[in-house]
Structure 1
Amino acid sequence: MAAENCLCKLLDRGSVESHRLFRARKTVFEMLRDRGYSVSDNDLSMTLPHFRELYGEEPDTSQLTITTAMDRDPSQRIMVLFCAVDAAKLAHMREYIKQILNEKVHDAIIVYRNSMTPQARIAIKEMPSPYSVELFQMSDLLVNITEHVLKPKHDILTPEEKDELLKKYSVTDNQLPRMLQTDAISRYYGLKPGQIVKITYSDEPIESFMTYRCVN
């Protein structure tokens, strides 16, 4: 009986949908923090029970919208929208685009549930400059990939650090190993072509060492 009671405590008796949205939103907050955006400790430490207390077992995704700004430059704002439908279509994206334009937020992230039509993707890709919208499937955000025990440490070089590195080794960024912009780490940090990432490996079986990759 004691063992059964212990197992019951480990079971999540709430809805799967609220659990998935909680996990995805938590990862988004961590991702924004790691990109240099302002994120409160309360948002980072929110528990699943508290999330369900605030938003219920079947959350209204319009209430989950996040808007924040860069710590170093409050004029650089970002908006995160969660798409409620299983298959995001052009009409849904038009509503989100309208919301982004009305808020005059140049950077945005849309988290969609399962799938998105080609027409919807094209509408996002054709957003006018200077607007930029990133797309993440919810399943890609259920776990923070940077916290995996086997993942090496990634540090994004500033423009000054990049210039110093290239000068030190007398190389151009084209001569460095590549990291695709579509790589999971690149997407997590929102990296742009030309940015350089310092990767530090410190696993016990091998001696700690560093390498650099340029986003392509």
Structure 2
Amino acid sequence: METNLGNGGRSPGPGGNDGGDKDCIKSMVDQGSVESRRFYLSRKTALEMLKDRGYNVDESEITRSLTEFRSLFGDNPELERLRISATLRSNPSKKILVVFMGKNEIRKATIFALRGDISKENLSGLILVLQSKMNSFARKELESFAFKVEEFQISDLYVNITKHYLMPKHEVLTAEEKQKLLNKYDIEAKQLPRMLKSDPVARYYGVEKGQVVKVTYSQEFCELHEQYRWVV
């Protein structure tokens, strides 16, 4: 005899109902806002990026859970509170600031207001995390800043690409290490394989044209070997 369970073919939970299943599923569903999750993921990657660039970053900031993030910043975080300020470990006088921008189109007036807002920060670098497009007038205004300004779309920071198990290890050589490498093989930098400055990994480490990046491959299916790439 065929038995009709009457609930999509699933056996009832304890007490003749499927409450146990519902509780299990509910525990796996994110009950918080999408906005807070977006900011949590992107801010965490930004913190990891600064640390990998040699900046002082509190480890507790990186390991903070989503629940802890929401408890601290709320379900609809204020953008100003999400800002990250860090100094370079090798030179504490060098300071960088990460600013999360709003959803409206970024115009010249937006950048002008930002300039006034951060004028007392004494920065050597600025990273803007964007949620919208930036028009050409705003971009032109950024060129007048006295320090390097970088831009990342917030979606670019949802995942830290350098943490992927297939991604080889990248290390930016110092000027001294670069020269030592060139002397060792009696070559010029332009003879090395190239890496575009626009490459996602190059952008992650904030490298400039002319720098050299050491790439180490060590996956199970690949013998351990190193390559050096010249950033162009």
C-alpha deviation, 1:102, in angstroms: 2.6
Residue of structure 1 in register with 2:62 after alignment: 44
Q: Does 1:166 align with 2:182?
A: yes
Residue of structure 2 in register with 1:102 after alignment: 120
C-alpha deviation, 1:90, in angstroms: 2.0
Distance 1:99 1:194 in 2: 33
Residue of structure 2 in register with 1:196 after alignment: 212
C-alpha deviation, 1:78, in angstroms: 0.5
Alignment of 1:177-216 (within 5 A): 177-216=193-232
Residue of structure 2 in register with 1:30 after alignment: 48
Residue of structure 2 in register with 1:121 after alignment: 139
TM-score scaled by length of structure 1: 0.94
Question: Contact 2:216 / 2:226 at 8 angstroms: preserved in 1?
Answer: yes
Greater mean alpha carbon deviation, residues 113-122 or residues 28-37? 113-122
The C-alpha deviation readout for 1:180-213, integer Å capped at 9, x for no partner, is 1111111100101111111111222222211110
Question: Contact 1:198 / 1:212 at 8 angstroms: preserved in 2?
Answer: yes
The C-alpha deviation readout for 1:147-183, integer Å capped at 9, x for no partner, is 0111111111122211111001101111111111111
Rate the CA distance shift 1:81–1:209 in 2: closer, same or farther, 3 A.
same
Q: After TM superposition, which residue ranges in structure 1, 4 or more long, deviate above 6 angstroms?
A: none
Distance 1:6 1:154 in 2: 41
Question: Contact 2:80 / 2:100 at 8 angstroms: preserved in 1?
Answer: yes
Distance 1:175 1:102 in 2: 43
Greater mean alpha carbon deviation, residues 143-152 or residues 102-111? 102-111
Distance 1:183 1:43 in 2: 27
Alignment of 1:43-122 (within 5 A): 43-122=61-140
TM-score scaled by length of structure 2: 0.88
Q: Match of 1:102, SS?
A: coil
Identity percentage over the alignment? 41
Distance 2:226 2:21 in 1: 47
Question: Contact 1:100 / 1:108 at 8 angstroms: preserved in 2?
Answer: no
Distance 2:229 2:119 in 1: 34
Q: Match of 1:39, SS?
A: coil
Q: Match of 1:38, SS?
A: coil
Which sections of structure 1, spanning at least 5 residues, go unmatched? Answer: none
Q: Match of 1:77, SS?
A: strand
Distance 1:103 1:147 in 2: 31
Distance 2:99 2:66 in 1: 20
The size of the alignment, in residue pairs, is 214
